[in-house]
Chain A
Amino acid sequence: MTAASDGAASGVEIAPRDVHAQLRGVTRVFPLASGAGLHALGPIDLDLYHGEFFAVVGPSGCGKSTLLDVLAGLSPPTDGTATFEDKPIDGVPDGVGVVFQEDASFPWLTVRDNVAFGLRRAGVDEAEIKKRVDYAIGFMGLRDFERAYPAQLSGGMRQRVCIARTLVLQPRLILLDEPFGALDQQTRLLMGDELLRLWRETGATVLLITHALDEAAMLSDRVGVMSARPGRFIDIVETHWPRDRDSRIVSDPGFGAVTARLWEKLRVESLKLMGTRP
């Protein structure tokens, strides 16, 4: 399939220069041993705009992580095209940071060395590394655990290590796969606030995968709702929040309307997944 740049499904008209990452007709089929393929994703059309906060919600197994892998250049789409900053995604693009769904902290390194890992790889000088690592560790509330090893941390703290490790590289596009999955609700809301602050300060584009509808509604400019596998966007909800929002937005009268609309769409898909008729 060739790129059909005039066939955007999101429906939002925007000048091409504002698009940061773009998917056109992207599908992903996993080859199976039996010879048949598992159609995990798509076809998907998506424009991620420069500096926006985009959340993805969808039933379990619908292909969210697969979508993230395509954007991160970790697995090429079976069909369709993916571009980042107007260049086709072919391997991991420069300027993309990823926090995976699974714990990806390095158990053999201290928290501090984990966070500094990417900077050392990039050959950044030590003074700069110290500055950025100090900042990220403070930001993620890990100051008391700098010298601890991941085995000594809780699951949520390990995930914070992974977030810090990604942030220090100052990516222009941040892909987060259920980064707060291991956190309790209160911490989750507060971490959300921190993430919003970071997003405002850096001007990065953020794509956040989550299964918490309130989290998606509170953080995002737009929320993409995916269908059951093979995942496609069945709705993209705009929140129209101001840029300097925080978790107190949950008491906004519009908040309930957003989550209600997300749930309405998602309920049908989740029921399909459970094999029940809506």
Chain B
Amino acid sequence: MKRGGLTREGWIRLAVVVAFVLAFELLCRLGVLPRTVVLPPSEMATSLWHLLETGEFTADIVSTLQDVAIASALSIALGFALGIAIHALPRLRATLEPLLASYYAIPTFMFYPVFIVVFGVSDRAIIAIAVLLSIVAMIASTLTGLDRIPRVLRKTAAIYRMGLARRALLIDLPAAAPHLFTGIKLAFAYAFIGVIASEFILSGQGIGYQIAYAYNNFENRKMYGLMLLVIIVATVANAVLDTIDRRLQSRLRR
């Protein structure tokens, strides 16, 4: 793979995105898509720039990013720990595995009233929902990672007379790293979705809340500016994690 520059596929992907944005812009300008429904991308961008400049939503942005960071960190740490525990207890695992497999078929959000009752309308309720949504991805990835450690590496650890702790640190962890990182990537994505979506329904601040508020008050420019922000943050974060992921996968592939 080439370093630095874009690959051929990368250029094609970029071209597709640019063409899409341009077509979108054109349709808006020609009035095919009415302004009352959607703004042209150029105006979304200027609106976002304006919002960032005035600092009107700085507190909301910080609050959202903070919640995402906390929820991701909790999911990753707890999911990893639970994954290890479940892996170590085959009988527990046999009971849990079908539940884990169908977990994402359940719309976790419907439990939001429960969380409001328990935590009140607060960051804690938002974080709880986001964790609930993202932790299972990390648990599943941890299980896969531990399953995929080749038996011969365990034997090799025994040959070097490593104790359990040493083996876990020096063999199991790096051997499982590619899957763990995939889990981290997914956990972050789900946490982001969880936080923004929860803010729509149970919050008085945050990017999600402000999008809903702008929508209710017919403030199209603000709404689309904030939406663009969400898209940019999600895309950039995902691209960075993806690059690391791909490096890990290519190096650690056996």
**Chain A contacts to B: CB under 8 angstroms:** 69, 72, 74, 91-92, 96-98, 100-104, 106-108, 117-118, 121, 149-151
Contacts and interface: CB of A to CB of B under 8 A. Distances in A.
Identify the 3 closest CB pairs spanning chains A and B, nearest first: A108-B174, A102-B152, A104-B152
Given A74-B155, A100-B155, A102-B150, A108 B252 contact: yes
Contacts of A98: 155, 159
B43 to A, nearest CB: 47
Given A98-B155, A103-B254, 4 more contacts: A100-B152, A102-B151, A104-B150, A118-B160
Interface in B224-254: 250-254
Tell me which of A69, A74, A98, A100 has the highest count of chain B C-beta atoms within 10 A of its own C-beta.
A100
Contacts, number: 52
Given A151-B250, A151-B251, A151-B253, A106 B159 contact: no
A91 to B, nearest CB: 8
Contacts of A72: 159
A107 B171 CA distance: 10
Contact of B160 (A101, A117, A149): A117
Size class of the contact patch on chain B: 20 to 34
A136 to B, nearest CB: 16
A103 B152 contact: yes
Contacts of A96: 159
Nearest to A96: B159
A96 B161 CA distance: 11
A99 B174 CA distance: 21
A72 B152 CA distance: 13
Contacts of A118: 160
Contacts of B159: 72, 74, 92, 96-98
A107 B252 contact: yes
B48 interface: no
B58 interface: no
A74 B158 contact: yes
Tell me which of A96, A101, A118 has the highest count of chain B C-beta atoms within 10 A of its own C-beta.
A118
Contact of B254 (A74, A101, A107): A107
Contacts of B175: 106-108
16 contacts: A91-B161, A92-B159, A92-B161, A96-B159, A102-B150, A102-B151, A106-B153, A106-B174, A106-B175, A107-B251, A107-B252, A107-B254, A108-B175, A121-B160, A151-B252, A151-B254
B150 to A, nearest CB: 7
Contacts of B252: 107-108, 151
A51 B9 CA distance: 58
Contacts of A101: 152
Contacts of A149: 251
A271 to B, nearest CB: 31
Nearest to B161: A92
Interface in B125-181: 150-153, 155-156, 158-162, 171, 174-175, 177
A170 to B, nearest CB: 14
B85 to A, nearest CB: 24
A1 to B, nearest CB: 25
Contacts of B177: 108
Nearest to A94: B161
B29 to A, nearest CB: 50
B2 to A, nearest CB: 16
A107 B155 contact: no
Nearest to A101: B152
Nearest to A171: B159
A21 B84 CA distance: 39
Contacts of A150: 254
Contacts of B162: 121
A149 B127 CA distance: 40
A258 to B, nearest CB: 32
Contacts of A117: 160
Contact of A92 (B153, B158, B254): B158
A102 B175 CA distance: 15
Contacts of A100: 152, 155-156
Nearest to A121: B160
Nearest to A177: B152
Nearest to B150: A102
Contacts of B253: 107, 151
Nearest to B162: A121
A106 B167 CA distance: 13
Contacts of B158: 74, 92
Tell me which of A102, A108, A118 has the highest count of chain B C-beta atoms within 10 A of its own C-beta.
A108
A149 B160 CA distance: 21
A103 B152 CA distance: 8
Contacts of B251: 107-108, 149, 151
A188 B250 CA distance: 29
A198 B105 CA distance: 60
A104 B150 CA distance: 8
